[in-house]
Structure formats: C-alpha cells, structure tokens
Amino acid sequence: MQPDFAEAYARAAEQLTGPDPDARPAALRELAALAEADPELRLDVAAAVCGFLCDPAGADTGPAAELLAALARRHPAGGCGPGCADCLDVDLTGAVLTADTDFGGCRFGTAAFADAHFRGTCSFAGARFSGEALFQRAVFERGARFTDVRFGAAAVFGRTRFRADADFSGARFEGLAWFGRGEETLSEDEEVWEQAETWRPVAWDEPGEHDPCWPLAVLDMDYQEWAEGGDGARFGGRASFAGARFADAAWFWKARFGGAADFGRAVFGGRVHLVQPAVDLTGARHTGRAAEAAGAVQAAGTAEASTAGTEEWEWPLGWTAAPPPTGAGLLLAEDPAAAPYARQLAHPDAEVRLTGLRLLGELGDARPDMRQRAADTVCAYLRSPLPSEPRARQAESAVRDAAQRLLADRTRPAAGDRFWSGLRLHLSGATLTDFDLSGCRLAYGDFTGTLFQGATSFAGAAFGARPYDPGADFCLPGSTRGRAAFRGRADFTAAALARAWGLQSCLTGCVVTGIEVPEEGAIP
C-alpha cells in the first residue's frame, strides 16, 4: 500500500465509524475511490465497511452495503474454486442492515452473516460463495432471494428465521446444505467461547410465538457443548427450492415451514432429512450412490427394496423414491404405502387438512409399522408456525385441536386396538392449546421451547418404559434456559415421566397441581 493511500485510507475509515454521521457519505466515496485506484486496498476497504455495518448505531446502512456489494462484484470473468483469491471474504456477524440490500451477482469467499438482521428486502440472486456461507440465526424481516446462488462449500442456515417469503429456486449446494437444528461439539480453545456469554441473537418475537430463550452454548459438567436451540430454520412465508441441486446432504431436521414449501424438480445427491408435510417434491430426483443402489434393488423386485437407502434419506409421508421410466437415479413419487393419506396436511383448505388427520389415524390403526411416521407427520404439522392472519388462525385452531387429540387418543392404552405403543413425540417449539396427555403411555417427548396454553394435563401420563429410558425433555440438557412455558394450569397428578429434564425451570408462575417439583428435574 502506498504511503499516501495508507494515510487516506486510515482517515476515511476513521470518519466512517466516527460519531459524525454527516462525514460518512464522503468517507464512503473516498474508500470507493481508493479501492478503485489501488486493487490491493479492496480487502482493507471491505473490512472497514464490514466493521461499520456490524456496529451502525442506527445509521442508514444502504450506501455502505452498496459499496461492499460493488467490491464483491469485482471478479475476473470465468469460474473459480475453493480458496479463490479474487473472491471477497466478508464478516458481517451480528450486522444490522436497515435498508433494502442487494448482493446479487457478488463473488464471496468465506462469508459470515451469522446473527445478521436484514430489516429490508434482501437479494443474493446469482451470487457465488467459494467458501463457507454462514447464516446461522440470521433474521430476514422481508423477502429473501437466493435464486440461482451457488454455494461452493457448506451453506449453514441453522435456526435462520425467514419472516417473509424465501426463494432458493435454482440454487446449487455443492457442500452441506444445513437448515436444521444447530448443534455441534467445540474444543475448549475455540475462540467462539469467548463470545458465547455476550452473544445476543435477534429476539424471537414472531406473532403468537413464545420466546424460548434458547441458549447459544452451555457448560455441561467437565466439557463444553454447543447446543444452539431446539429448532432449525423457520420459514414464515412461502419457501421455494424449486430446481435446486443438493450435491451433499440436504438437512432440514427440525426446520419449520409456515407456508407452502416447493421442492419441485429439485435434485438430491446425498443424505436428506425432509419430513415436513408442507413439502412438495413433484418432479424431484435423488441421484446419489445410495439412490443408484436402491434403484437396482427395486428394479430387481427383491425383498430389500423397502429398506434400501432408508439410512440415507427421510421424505415426507406420502412421498417415496422409485426408479423412473428412463434416466438415472430415483424419482420422487406418490407413496402407495401411505394411501389413502395423500399429503392432505399440505392443502390450503382447513377441511381437507382435517380429512388428512382422519386418514392418518386410520392408516396408523391399520398399519403398526406406519404409526411412528404418522405421528412424526402430525408433530411436524403442530410445529409449523401459526398463521398471522386472524381468520386463517381461527380455521387453523380447529385443525390443531384435532391433531392434538389424534396423538392423545392413540397413546392411551384404553384405546384398545387403536393404541399406538412406544411413540416418540417431537414437539419442540410447538404452540399447544389445552393439551391433554392424561393417561397416555409414550417412550419419549421433546417439549423444548414448547408453549403450553390453557389447561395442560399430564395426569397419569408415563414416558419411558424402564427407569433409565428417555422420558420427556422440557429444557435443553445441561441448561435451565431454552425451556418450555406453561401459560395456564398444569396437572401432573400421578405422572411417571422417568426423566423430566428441566421441568422445575418451566413451571414458575404456573398453577401446578399433583406434583412437587424436584430439585434436579427427575420425576419418579
């Protein structure tokens, strides 16, 4: 860097982050001119702009974001690979972008947008990421466009919140596509531990949603464990992955879809976890090695066809992967084993969804092997975000009441032939109203971050068949935060929960009957 450029850069960078807002436009113009005059300054200018955007103190971030986008678009024509020196590394961790943001066509290296808050519309259309793209816990208040984006490495959207429509149509995921629950183990010397105590994600304040206060990290006895929330990505509006290509795992474990989720014509090449009933897989294919093996087995008509590839993918109930008439891989098609249920829970009409619940109940009654999958589908439906429009919410309440009754009625031994034994209920983050599991027998229940409204009853309920079996989780293990909430009365008379992790932290301020909350949260 030439001495005169260095002096000008230092002065402009100081003015950009200084207390005088009137000096910022000139500082941005100076930084842009310096980056144009000396290409070696591009990284320094980008770092200064990122620093400003991460601590804007209520400033208009539009011009600074435009400059950063212009810097990221300066890339020679042609492709690039991992570690490309021409791709711009950016760190906007915790940034608050107050204006509409357009990063379309940008070329990023490693890009960190964790905990970023996009208050306006945001577009990454046609952008390229040669390194990791980190969006965990980011919040998109308005529409988010990732159309035709290419992620050259891992794309991490764990616990990201899309409060409006999210469009990933045509996106290419060359590495892991992570839209699931955030959880990993970190060594003690990781720098992130120094930030964990002060990190504050954007408030979870969607209409009708409880703030579960899920922690970023917890200290569990002699080792540190990263246990970030009980949810995956949350889609408040429509989500489109139409025509997207997933070369590696497509992981949507505990993701929540509040509207239609279009995966039509998507191509999957690795492991898949995508069980939400809102998902539409019309024309989608799986082309990985496991798909080829499963296709060969199915084509041969052998008994192993039904289990081939089951460890590689989990599809929504009603869909199955089968060999297409022509071409390689497997085509996602209607699953005859799930009939007469035919994805009615994804229908916009509440009456059709009620019919779907009835059919799921009948399917489980007739097919014991389908009971857990049917229960998983109902739980996924109950975990979907509530609609914000009052009329839609009123119609939805009747369907959710029926879904809760289905789970309760099928897990009471008094149901006779309709008793579904050994079920595991995954209801983390759900909003449950007048939830009645009295007298029910289940193997496990995940209620981390669940909101119980009205009268709740676990009277006489039993979780776990043996003393050390999993019981019911109401908090993230190792933490008194990230807990369920009871708003109303809660009856635990004669409840045998085997393990009730964190329950004592959840009942503060609640009218509780039939139980004395123990110190350690384990209820005999």
Residues 6+ apart with CB under 8 A from 90: 46, 50, 68, 72, 108, 111, 112
pLDDT number for residue 297:
44
pLDDT number for residue 497:
83
Residue 520: which pLDDT band, with cuts at 50, 70 and 90? very low
pLDDT number for residue 248:
94
How large a percentage of the chain has pLDDT more than 90?
55
Pairing of strands 472-473, 500-501: parallel
User: Mean of the pLDDT values across residues 496-515?
Assistant: 82
d(CA 423, CA 470): 12
Mean pLDDT of the chain: 85
Residue 204: which pLDDT band, with cuts at 50, 70 and 90? confident
Contact 202, 225 (CB under 8 A): no
**Is the peptide bond preceding residue 385 cis, with omega within 30 degrees of 0?**
no
pLDDT number for residue 215:
66
Name the more confident of 258 and 59: 258
CA 494 to chain centre: 36
Looking at 135-149, 212-226, 248-262, 420-434, which range is the least confident one?
212-226
Q: Counting every residue, how long is the chain?
A: 524
Q: List 72's β-bridge partners, or say none.
A: none
Query: What are the tokens at 426?
Result: 């995954």
Distances 11 to 7, 21, 63, 413 between C-alpha atoms, Å: 6, 15, 18, 75
The tens digit of pLDDT for each residue in 460-500 reads 999 986 655 678 888 877 677 778 889 999 999 999 887 78
Report the candidate in 423, 422, 413, 424 with the shortest Cα–Cα distance to residue 447. 424
Query: What are the tokens at 306?
Result: 């039904």
> Based on the number of CB atoms within 10 Å of its own CB, is 339 exposed (0-12), middle (13-18) or buried (19 or more)?
exposed
pLDDT number for residue 519:
44
Query: What are the tokens at 298?
Result: 């199915």
Q: Is 210 helix (H, G, I), strand (E, B) or coil?
A: coil
pLDDT number for residue 397:
93
The tens digit of pLDDT for each residue in 332-361 reads 999 999 999 999 999 999 999 999 999 999
Pairing of strands 330-334, 285-286: antiparallel
On the question of pLDDT at 202 being above 90, the answer is no
Report the candidate in 236, 250, 248, 244 with the shortest Cα–Cα distance to residue 263. 244
Name the more confident of 352 and 37: 352
User: Mean of the pLDDT values across residues 1-7?
Assistant: 67
User: Mean of the pLDDT values across residues 15-28?
Assistant: 87
The tens digit of pLDDT for each residue in 152-190 reads 999 999 889 999 999 999 999 999 999 987 655 556 666
Residue 366: which pLDDT band, with cuts at 50, 70 and 90? very high
pLDDT number for residue 84:
77
Contact 400, 379 (CB under 8 A): no
Contact 122, 138 (CB under 8 A): no
HEC string of 169-195 equals CCCEECCCEECCCEEECCCCCCCHHHH
Query: What are the tokens at 158?
Result: 């764990």
Report the candidate in 54, 128, 47, 143 with the shortest Cα–Cα distance to residue 94. 54
Q: Is 517 helix (H, G, I), strand (E, B) or coil?
A: coil
Looking at 10-14, 26-30, 104-108, 453-457, which range is the least confident one?
10-14
On the question of pLDDT at 101 being above 60, the answer is yes
d(CA 346, CA 343): 6
Query: What are the tokens at 317?
Result: 């109930």
pTM above 0.85, yes or no: yes
How large a percentage of the chain has pLDDT more than 70?
81
d(CA 168, CA 242): 7
On the question of pLDDT at 446 being above 60, the answer is yes
pLDDT number for residue 16:
86
The tens digit of pLDDT for each residue in 286-318 reads 997 655 545 444 444 433 333 344 457 899 999
pLDDT number for residue 185:
54
